[in-house]
Amino acid sequence: MRRYPPIAEHGLVGDLRTAALVSADGVVNWFCAPRFDSPSLFAALLDHQRGGYFAVTVDGPDVTTRQLYLPDTAALVTRFLSRRGVGEVVDFMPVDRAERADGPRRLVRLLRVVRGELPFSVACRPRFDYGRARHAMELRSVGEARFTVPGGPVTARLTACGPIALERDEAGGREAHGGREAEDVGQALRQEDIRARLVLRQGEQAGLVLEVAPAGPREEPPPPSLEALDQELHAVRHFWHHWVRKSRYRGRWQQLVNRSAITLKLLTYAPTGAPVAAATMGLPEQIGGERNWDYRYTWIRDASLSAHTLLDLGFTEEAEAYRHWLGERLRAGTAGGAGGGTVTGEPLQIMYRVDGDPHLSEEVLPHLEGYRGSAPVRLGNAAADQLQLDIYGEAVNALTRSARSTQTAGYDGWLALSGLLDWLTGAWDRPDEGIWETRGGPRHFTYSRVMSWTAFDRGIRLASDLARPADLAAWTAARDAVLRQVMERGWSARRQAFVQHYDGEVLDASLLLMPAVGFVSPRDPRWLSTLDAMESELVTDSLVHRYDPAAAPDGLRGGEGTFSLCSFLYVNALAQAGRLGQARYAFDKMTTYANHVGLYAEEIGPTGEQLGNFPQAFTHLALIAAVLSLDTELDRIGA
């Protein structure tokens, strides 16, 4: 078992409440339960020794592995190939269609051999609460073990079926760590775990089910049979096939779009409809660097763009669920009145927990060494307290996408929306921290102004279309003032480009969204000049940097890789600008950076490795947007 496999060498499985990462070696290296933002049970990606993992592997010098998804599903197959035989582990999480949020979460691992025979090794070493809590283990039988933490919020139960005999493993915390015994954490690492060894022959199967449930007395079902697990796998396949069929995309890149759509769905918390930015926390943007953030929350920006993308594909239920969640957050920040909503403070926070809780205090977990020594590992996110004015453009764009959704929100929903825009008329000209959540102090970011313009533009259109009460004069004046200001202060005559903020001449790839939201025409001379400037400064072999941290200090040490969101935004902008040959070549290059099962992390490093939290919703939604633009433009010219 490798200490730190590459970030990209993982597949994602989930149940629309939480998710797990399974390495190409068959190791669950990341799993939080019962929600995305719950404390971890397995976090070996952040500390191989202290984090915990659940491994199902095949030993031998000649064993190679391959990994794939069952087509158009979230069921992941890890294949082990050797001269002795060929075996598989199928990982999946049953999808609970009920709206309740407190049910047990189940990770199912089916072992089978399709040729010859293979020896499997099993090691289940949970480490509760990011490795901070010591657990007790009760081996109830050769087919059932229970892990508990005194006073802890959850318990874990491992059950086995088929020819598996679970055994007590007291050596789980005694492996060498950095070439020495991990004495610094002492007895906390020496906990009782589970191991098993078995040999399966062609046609034989075995099963493991890890169930995480709220602590406390409850009636536990008996261990499932292999037949029952096969039926559950069939149900999971049916669920995802039925869901994917709702997509109306029938273009050139069907498989890529379906995988990205499934990933966006997997990163959505079904009980509330809130998407998370990524399934993980603490994975570095630079190996050994400090840019290690917790992304398991719902950013208004990312979630709004995700909902917008899914709606473009025809997934209306997901978009409506998110808009309902967003509307609740907005109504909590406004109070209705005869003249519209009255804002009490800022209408929205930039991010929330998946249940809408706004409390996201940040802390460092010093006991975790971080992925390949990338520390500090941060829990929570202090950026939640930042002012980022662009979120109002993304939010209003999502809320006003269709008249039907606005009518569903009713008059009270309109009051909340109009209250937001009334507040924005007096707030749009404030400096803020911007889309990239820099920690170098507030500035007048151009992208924030562009998205403020978007908020006013969409609000004006909807008020006129639906004849709703609104201060259209004030909104129109603000919209026009924003546009004039950006054209005067956000444009650098020397650079012949729109720039990151008004106090400098740094380029910023977030502005690739300017034509996408309609702020400028995709073939406006100023925009084409900006695109040329970005290409010469931010683009390397079709990969796009967000900005140059050396030219625009962001308050953090170190650098980062190219940002995959921006690389796909670049493809989108090229396609809309009519530069189709360049756009398609850039897109084809980006597809070579996907991992073996079509997933993308946040960034791509200098040698092509994936960096940052994984998989990232931003990247997958931008891939879909790029595909839709490419298809539209290629169809237009009959290519």
DSSP run (H or E) holding 342: strand 342-343
Tokens of 333: 């920040």
- Residue 177's pLDDT band (cuts 50, 70, 90): very low
Interval 42-64: pLDDT, tens: 999 999 999 999 999 998 889 99
Q: What is the model's pLDDT at position 41?
A: 98
- Which residues make up the CATH 2.70.98 domain(s) of the chain? 10-243
Determine the Cα–Cα distance for residues 511 and 544; give it in Å rounded to an integer. 12
Contact (Cβ atoms closer than 8 angstroms) between residue 236 and residue 74: yes
Rg, the chain, Cα only: 25
Of the pLDDT bands very low, low, confident and very high (cuts 50, 70, 90), residue 181 is very low
C-alpha torsion sign, points 452, 454, 456, 462: negative
The per-residue pLDDT of the chain, averaged, comes to 92
As a whole number of angstroms, the distance between CA 294 and CA 340 comes to 36
Residue 360, token pair as written in the block:
């996201």
Q: Which CATH architecture has domain 10-243?
A: Distorted Sandwich (2.70)
CATH hierarchy code of domain 246-636? 1.50.10.10
pLDDT at residue 176 in the model: 37
Nearest to 614 by CA among 604, 623, 628: 604
Q: Which residues pair with 352 in a beta bridge?
A: 298
**Residue range(s) in the chain whose domain bears CATH number 1.50.10.10:** 246-636
Task: Report pLDDT for 179.
Answer: 37
| Average pLDDT rounded to a whole number, residues 575-594 | 97
Predicted local distance difference test score (pLDDT) of residue 97: 64
CA angle, 558 then 8 then 74, to 5°: 135
Euclidean distance between CA atoms 493 and 533, whole angstroms = 12
Could you read off the pLDDT of 464-522 as tens digits, one per residue? 988 899 999 999 999 999 999 999 999 999 999 999 999 999 999 999 999 999 999 99
Does 100 have pLDDT greater than 70?
no
CA distances from 43 to 31, 35, 52, 363, 430 (A): 7, 15, 5, 17, 40
Q: From CA 273, how far away is CA 271, in angstroms rounded?
A: 6
Mean pLDDT of 122-148: 96
Residue 566: is its pLDDT beyond 90? yes
Which pLDDT value is given to residue 335?
Answer: 65
CB atoms within 10 A of CB 323: 26
Q: What is the pLDDT of residue 339?
A: 40
Average pLDDT over residues 631-637: 94
Cβ neighbour number for residue 552 with a 10 Å cutoff:
21
Place of tokens 């702020």: 519
Angstrom distance (rounded) from CA 90 to CA 69: 9
Q: Give pTM, 2 decimals.
A: 0.95
What is the tens place of the pLDDT at every residue in 335-365?
A: 643 344 566 579 999 999 999 999 999 999 9
* pLDDT above 80: residue 39: yes
- Residue 418 pairs with which residues in a beta bridge? none
Residue 182, pLDDT score = 42
CB 265, CB 597: distance < 8 Å: no
Tell me the mean pLDDT in the region 93-120. 88
Determine the pLDDT at residue 351: 97
Distance spanning both ends of the chain, measured CA to CA? 48
Q: Among 296-310, 342-356, 602-616, where is mean pLDDT lowest?
A: 342-356
Under the banding of pLDDT at 50, 70 and 90, the label for residue 98 is: low
